[in-house]
A and B are shown apart, each in its own frame.
Chain A
Amino acid sequence: QVQLQESGPGLVKPSETLSLTCTVSGGSISGYYWGWIRQPPGEGLEWIGYVYSTGSTNYNPSLKSRVTISGDTSKNQFSLKLTSVTAADTAVYYCARYHLGGAYFDYWGQGTLVTVSS
């Protein structure tokens, strides 16, 4: 059974960079797509983007200028970096495995709340 676990700071200052890591267990990240989705408190889900194990990426156009998603096959992890954050970036961030062929997310992490505040 594939399991995902997000980790990273729960508090980030405005204008700084949000960095999160997703550790995958129960399977290899090689050969799969891995993505990030976020959910502001009390609001809906927003697709951030995904990375393939070889490094190719696809991002939400509204975040593209600030987002980098990368994978590390040696650690079986992938990560999210979001630069120049504001209060609007406060959200629960989920990592998930993405099934490209069917365009759906089948395994999800439990989520981690990141608050942007000074």
Chain B
Amino acid sequence: QSALTQPASVSGSPGQSITISCTGTSSDVGAYNYVSWYQQHPGKAPKLMISEVTDRPSGVSNRFSGSKSGNTASLTISGLQAEDEADYYCNSYTTTNTYVFGTGTKVTV
């Protein structure tokens, strides 16, 4: 099972919007609406930001939103803030009842 493909880095200025892509196949991202996104600051545990493609857990800023088209899921951060600088990982359920993470994207503000 290969890792989902994410851009290595994405950058933006404060206040701007950025989008991180997560590309898989018809056996994972494209098969179900079970894509989640995690934010990880250096030396810290990952934090759930988006579940089931679009759902935002309680306490997560509404500046974070998710979407999916075909085999590619996306995380958009609007109104970029300094505190958003972190690594971001997508995760998907697969048709073989396993789970695969993305390669990770470093966001620089």
1/0 per residue, CB under 8 A from B, across A49-71: the answer is 00000000010111000000000
Select one of A58, A60, A104 contacting B51, CB under 8 A: A104
- Give 10 pairs: A residue, B residue, CB < 8 Å, sorted on A: A37-B46, A45-B89, A47-B99, A47-B100, A60-B98, A102-B36, A103-B52, A103-B92, A104-B34, A110-B44
**What's the interface size class on A, roughly?**
20 to 34
Q: CA–CA, A46 to B85, complex, Å?
A: 22
Q: Which residues of A contact B52 (CB under 8 A)?
A: 102-104
Complex: how many Å from CA A105 to CA B32? 17
Is the CB of B24 closer than 8 A to any CB of chain A? Answer: no
Chain B positions within 8 Å of A99 at CB level: 51
Residues of A within 8 A of B3 (CB): 44
The contact size tier of chain B is 20 to 34
Q: 0/1 per residue, B1-19, Cβ < 8 Å to A?
A: 1010000000000000000
Residues 41-54 of B, flagged 1 when their CB comes within 8 A of A and 0 if not, give 00011111001100
Q: Which 10 residue pairs spanning A and B have beta carbons closest together?
A: A103-B34, A104-B36, A103-B93, A104-B51, A108-B45, A47-B99, A45-B101, A44-B104, A102-B52, A102-B51
